[in-house]
A and B are shown apart, each in its own frame.
Chain A
């Protein structure tokens, strides 16, 4: 397996992620977590790939930007796991918050998991 990213002109780095594996929410949440260190642009291509472009924000070196991009890949995995786990408990969180402030009749019928 080659490098997980492509080097572009102007010191930028490109990472491609498969839309069939990662959701947009995970891609965006992970990108948000990197906003203090670099500029990020996310594009969806016709081949169902997300293209994520990284540009240095604080004059980072090429190696430093690579490290950020690699961390980003792990962060996307982490965010995707959170989304997957959330799906497994359906609307239980919403129900318990509602129930805390205004009792719900027939909770059982409203559980959607």
Chain B
């Protein structure tokens, strides 16, 4: 008879003769190779510290199994809690027109005069009606573009009609507008203030980089007006009302630390170091804009180290992607980020309604459609019912094919509990939704970042861990000096 029972876990030859062991719900432990081999051959001493550690992490048990299964099941349910509510994020494209001509434009935006790419009122109304059929108690309506401010009347109509619907539906309703901020006026700001609309903008880094990547259609740079308007937004809507995203092109890679510094100068407390996605112009011009995945990883690591040092020197500043991953690694909760979910969050967590009423499973699916590939169309708000849009065989099939637990390599990957699937990216890069993991750029980037984070966790340097925890809790660390000063 075996002296103890092994429970489901995954493992990975980590570094320096260490193994990383992760159980089915993401709880982890490092062990030496010798301890690992002793464990799987039932030679561990039940009195040893290793045995007790493994038992506490529910990687093995020497007690009755039924209660352990029930406890793990509860934790598993928590990890998969994003499945409870169904679609929460509803992206709406009020227009595909845009006054910018970003080098990597992934949505294939249209000129400012191309009014046929505007959403009409009846489509907007039907879109809001469908949004409120979602069973989720939380609804986030996010305006995407084109540049939504070019069609501000439709934005206002959607906000006001959604608020009206919510008088009876009583959901937790949120609005976000993704804008380049170049067209924002005081009148708009007052409106957004009154309706508690959050702003997400784009800032690619220093003046030279931003102007190079994100010029206006006439070729002029947009940096000055964007940074001026970021300040204006804060005056009207509050300090935390605006966040920014950056997209890394080939020109950006060597300036990652400078980009971080620019975000600090502009008063941001977070950055999302984002690689180029292969859609629209970014795909067409990958030769001039793109880079090797290893180059991105190297730049990311350099910026990450720089950001940790900024925090250690007393300024709270978050790298958002690492923060999401750390939340999944170090807490029992899920991330609420579509790209880090299994099954994939396409359609069931986030969905996008295009200007013409066509509905797509994700923003990236809409980007493909704007380029002529409508594989991931769910239907049209003016022609289909909620059931037809969200409960079709197409959606069920897509979700079934996007469970990490069943995908080659992912099924055995030690980082599975923390990772996610993006079937649309697989399709865009490899021509089919499952894809080959060995050729996936997302997999390579995620693996490298996981390794980097686990190395820090293994080192367990207290100041660094305090920084990482402050990102998860979104609370700045209390510096030692401040504590002693206050206690004096």
Are B438 and A96 in contact, with the CB atoms below 8 A? no
Which chain B residues (1-30) contact chain A, with CB distance < 8 Å? 5-11, 13, 24
Chain B, Cβ-Cβ closest to A83: B412
Q: Which residues of B contact A32 (CB under 8 A)?
A: 408-409, 436, 438
Is B77's beta carbon under 8 Å from chain A? yes
**Is B69's CB under 8 angstroms from A35's CB?**
no
| A contact residues, range | 20 to 34
* A108 beta carbon closer than 8 Å to chain B: yes
How far, in angstroms, from A79 to B412 measured CA to CA in the complex? Answer: 9
In the complex, residue of chain A having the shortest beta-carbon distance to the beta carbon of B58: A96
Q: Assess whether A100 is in contact with B76, with CB atoms less than 8 Å apart.
A: yes
Whether A107 pairs with B69 at a CB distance below 8 angstroms is: yes
A43 adjacent to chain B (CB < 8 Å): no
Q: Are B436 and A36 in contact (CB under 8 A)?
A: yes
- B409: chain A residues at CB < 8 Å are 29, 32-33
Chain A's closest residue to B70 (CB) is A99
* CB atoms of B7 and A35 under 8 A apart: no
Q: Which of A7-15, A16-24, A65-73, A84-92 forms contacts with chain B?
A: A84-92
B188 within 8 A of A: no
B72: Cβ under 8 A from any A Cβ: yes
Distance in angstroms between the alpha carbons of A100 and B72 in the assembled complex: 8
Are the CB atoms of A35 and B438 closer together than 8 Å? Answer: yes
Q: How far is the CA of A32 from the CA of B437 in the complex (A)?
A: 9
Interface core residue of A82, A85, A101 (most chain B CB under 10 Å): A85
| Nearest-neighbor residue (CB-CB) of A109 within chain B | B66
- Inter-chain contacts of B183 with A (CB < 8 A): none
Which of these, A79, A82, A96, contacts B24 with CB under 8 Å? Answer: A96
A89 in contact with B7 (CB, 8 Å): yes
Q: How far is the CB of B87 from chain A (nearest CB, A)?
A: 19
Q: What total count of A-B pairs have CB within 8 Å?
A: 70
State the Cβ distance, A16 to closest chain B Cβ, in Å.
Answer: 24
* B412–A82 CB distance below 8 A: yes
- The docked-state distance in angstroms from the alpha carbon of A35 to that of B69 is 37
In the complex, what residues of A have CB within 8 A of residue B72's CB? 96
Residues of A within 8 A of B10 (CB): 82
- A92, B7: Cβ atoms closer than 8 Å: yes
Closest B residue, CB atoms, query A34: B438
Complex formed: what's the CA distance from A96 to B10 in Å? 15
Q: Is the CB of B40 within 8 A of A100?
A: no
Instruction: Report how far A73 CA is from B72 CA in the complex, Å.
Output: 35
| Inter-subunit contact B5/A108 (CB<8 Å) | no
Contact A96 B13 (CB under 8 A): no
Contact of B6 (CB < 8 Å), options: A29, A85, A100:
A85
Check if A100 sits within 8 Å of B65, measured CB to CB.
no
Bound-complex Cα distance A39 to B157 (A) = 57
Please tell me if the beta carbons of A107 and B24 are within 8 angstroms of each other in the complex. Answer: no
Contacts of A1 in B (CB 8 A): none
Chain B, residue nearest A98 (CB): B73
- A99 CB to closest chain B CB (Å) equals 4
Q: Which residues of A contact B412 (CB under 8 A)?
A: 29, 79, 82
Q: Does B439 contact A (CB under 8 A)?
A: yes
Q: B355 interface residue, CB < 8 Å from A?
A: no
Binary contact track B405-425/A, C-beta < 8 Å → 1, others 0: 000110010000000000000
Residues of A with C-beta under 8 A to B70: 99, 107
Q: Are B6 and A93 in contact (CB under 8 A)?
A: no
Binding site for A on B (CB under 8 A): 5-11, 13, 24, 40, 65-66, 69-70, 72-74, 76-77, 80, 408-409, 412, 436, 438-439
25 contacts between A and B (CB under 8 A): A29-B409, A32-B438, A34-B438, A36-B436, A79-B412, A82-B10, A82-B412, A85-B6, A85-B9, A85-B11, A88-B40, A89-B6, A92-B7, A92-B65, A92-B69, A93-B24, A95-B69, A96-B8, A96-B73, A96-B76, A100-B76, A107-B66, A108-B65, A108-B66, A111-B65
